[in-house]
Amino acid sequence: MAERIGILTGGGDCPGLNAVIRAVVKSATRLGWETIGIQKGFEGLLHPVSCMKLDHREMGALLTSGGTVLGTTNRGRFAAKTGHGEGRSIPVEILDEAKRNCEALGLRALICVGGDGSLSIAQQLFEHGVPVVGVPKTIDNDLEATVVTFGFDSAVACATDALDRLHTTAASHNRVMVLEVMGRYAGWIAAHAGIAGGGDIILIPEIPFSYDSICRKITEREAMGRLFTLVVVAEGARMKDGEFFTQGEAGSDREARLGGIGNAVAAQIAKRTGKETRVVVLGHLQRGGGPTCFDRLLCTRFGSYAVRLVKEGKYGYMVANRPPDTVAVKITEAIGKLRTVPPDGDLVQTARMLGMSFGDD
């Protein structure tokens, strides 16, 4: 019987998951291995086990398609985070069962594709004796151990496109347009899209804002004859000492659902400046659709490198992007350490030099 490896996708979906699956299956096939796809994230490892054999001849369309053909979940029995990013240990009986089922499937190794939460589950499985290799994904780009995660570039492209569209309608009506984008603890999407899309005010979790500062910027622009303003706000942005805006309560098996900051900011701007203000919450549009060329390449490199790590028996490691290379780092180096936007870094300084405001001056 051919050697077998398993692959699963965990946590929120993002563009490029299918491209990773394709790269893993094609690379494994060349080594003479079979690939078994575990469905619905880690849940598929529990009774009744849910999995499918992945055929390399059926991988063609996966390079460009969005979502994940394996399905995924960011809650349930394997939830690794609750509240606002608090870690949770997976009960030992759940780890036991997952390990038993990996063995029953005859898996030489399990490739786990996911963000901070999924990688921390992968690490717990590894410590429990399951040979795992990680592949980092998240549109938020907030994993410390890799310079970039896949899904991020596609999300930025979506947010920049939205900003381009808002630009023309804002200018036509002399309005303030507020675009709320994803980014729980890190403002990479807001900062990148804000700069790439020529935004005027960028609000990110790393830099607490004040309404006085935001409205001052709008008034200054008016005085210069710039009668419209584009505001990009990350869902996790907050005022100094302010709370997160949430739409859904945290549970014992899930994190709180963020959202609402865009409307709050718009209401204050309208009230304080008298400007007509509109809000767009981009939401899951940023996670849907196919990956950009950059993400397709990154996913292909990540997927094939993960198979190399399995071949070398480098378990407990995940692939990471350290330009110009793909490298292996211990999963323990990657989890629980957020990569946030440096408030004094080049990105923020570039934006400030161009006259953009972070709502803090």
The residues of the shown chain that bind ligand F6P, judged by CB under 6 A, are 12, 74, 115, 138-140, 182-184, 235, 257-258, 287
In the bound state, the residue with its beta carbon closest to ligand F6P is 182
> CB 324: neighbour CB atoms within 10 A?
5
Please state whether the peptide bond connecting residue 48 to the residue before it is cis, i.e. omega within 30 degrees of 0: yes
Rg (CA), the chain: 22
Joined tokens for residue 61: 């369309």
Residue for token digits 């899904």? 151
Nearer to ligand F6P, 111 or 182 (CB): 182
Burial class of 181 by CB neighbour count within 10 A (0 to 12, 13 to 18, 19+):
buried
Q: From the candidates 140, 142, 153, 200, which is the catalytic residue?
A: 140
Q: Smallest distance from the beta carbon of 86 to ligand F6P, in angstroms?
A: 15
Query: Cβ(197)–Cβ(170) under 8 Å?
Result: no
| Chain centre to alpha carbon of residue 190 | 13
Q: Smallest distance from the beta carbon of 286 to ligand F6P, in angstroms?
A: 7
Nearer to ligand F6P, 63 or 159 (CB): 159
Nearer to ligand F6P, 210 or 246 (CB): 246
Does residue 140 carry a catalytic annotation? yes
Q: Smallest distance from the beta carbon of 201 to ligand F6P, in angstroms?
A: 20
Q: What stretches of the chain adopt beta strand conformation (E)?
A: 4-9, 34-38, 51-54, 81-82, 86-87, 107-114, 132-136, 176-181, 201-203, 229-234, 246-248, 257-258, 277-281, 317-322, 325-330
Nearer to ligand F6P, 27 or 72 (CB): 72
Q: Smallest distance from the beta carbon of 226 to ligand F6P, in angstroms?
A: 31
Which residues are known to be catalytic? 140
